[in-house]
Amino acid sequence: MKKTGFIFDLDGVIVDTAKYHYLAWRKLANELGFEFTQEQNELFKGVSRKRCLEILLEIGKIKASQEQFNRWLVEKNEDYLSLIEKMDESEILPDVQRVLKFLKKHNMPIALGSASKNARPILEKVNLMDYFDAIVDGTQVTKAKPDPEVFLLAAAQMGVNPKECVVFEDAVAGIVAANNAGMLSIGIGEEKVLSEAKFVFADFTEMDDNFLNRLLEQTP
C-alpha cells in the first residue's frame, strides 16, 4: 500500500535527549539516597514521565506521598529543561534532516508522535519545527505507548488513514504501538531489540532514497 503519512518519535529518533533525561533522573535518585545506572535507564525508553518516576522509586524502594511525587516530577523536569537549554542543530541525529527534506520535497505530511512534554521547545532549539505538519506530544495524550493513541492522533491531525502511515521509532513500546495502530513500523536501533518492526535500520544513514521511494510508491 502506498504510504502517505510519516510519523517520527522524538527521543532516539530525531535527537538524542536520553542522556539529558538520564542525568536529571540520576540527580534525583542521588538526592533521594541511591544510585541510578545507565542499564536501569533502559527501562525508561518510551515511557511516560509519571511511570518513569514510579519505576525510579521502585528501584530505590522509596514510598512517596502524592505531594512528594508531584514535587519530584516537577524537580526532575526543571533539571532536564536546564540541561537541554543549550541544545542546537548539532544534536540532530545523522541524516534525519535528509529524510525530512526528502519527504517535504514529495509533499508528504509529517507528524511528531512523542511521549515527551517538551517536544515543541526541543524542535525549536534544533530548528526542525517547520518540517512538521502536526505535533502530538505528552501534553495531548492520556495513554502511554504501547497504546497507539499518540500515533492515531497524529494520523488524524495529518488527515491520513492510519493504515497509510509509517512510524519511525527506537523503542519496543513504540514499535508495538505503531503495529497496534495498523501502521508500518520502522525501527531505528538494534534489530535484535526491535524485532517486531517491519524494517530496522541502525540509523537514518542506512536508509537510502531508493527505500524511501519504495515507501512512497508501494510497501516493499
Confirm or deny that 145 is annotated as ligand binding. Answer: yes
What is the number of alpha carbons within 13 Å of residue 214 lying toward its C-beta?
9
**Element of type H or E holding 90:** none
Q: How far apart are CA 152 and CA 178, in angstroms?
A: 9
Q: Grid coordinates representing 83?
A: 540541561
3 annotated to a ligand binding site: no
Report whether 115 belongs to an annotated binding site: yes
Q: The C-alpha cell of 189 is what?
A: 536501533
195 annotated as ligand-binding: no
185 is in an annotated binding site: no
- Per the annotation, does 11 bind a ligand? yes
Write down the catalytic residue from 11, 79, 133, 137. Answer: 11
> Is 208 annotated in some ligand binding site?
no
Three cell numbers, residue 21: 533525561
Cell numbers 512512497 label which residue?
216
Kind plus residue range of the DSSP H or E element containing 169: strand 165-169
Specify whether 147 is catalytic: no
* 111 marked as part of a ligand binding site: no
Residue 198 annotated in ligand binding:
no
The catalytically annotated residue of 9, 79, 133, 137 is 9
Report the distance separating Cα 153 and Cα 112, nearest Å.
Answer: 10
By CB atoms closer than 10 A (0-12, 13-18, 19+), residue 190 is exposed
Is 9 labelled a binding residue? yes
Annotated catalytic, 203? no
Q: Which residues are catalytic?
A: 9, 11
Question: Residues at the annotated binding site for Mg(2+)?
Answer: 9, 11, 169-170
Question: Residues at the annotated binding site?
Answer: 9-11, 25, 76, 114-118, 145, 169-170
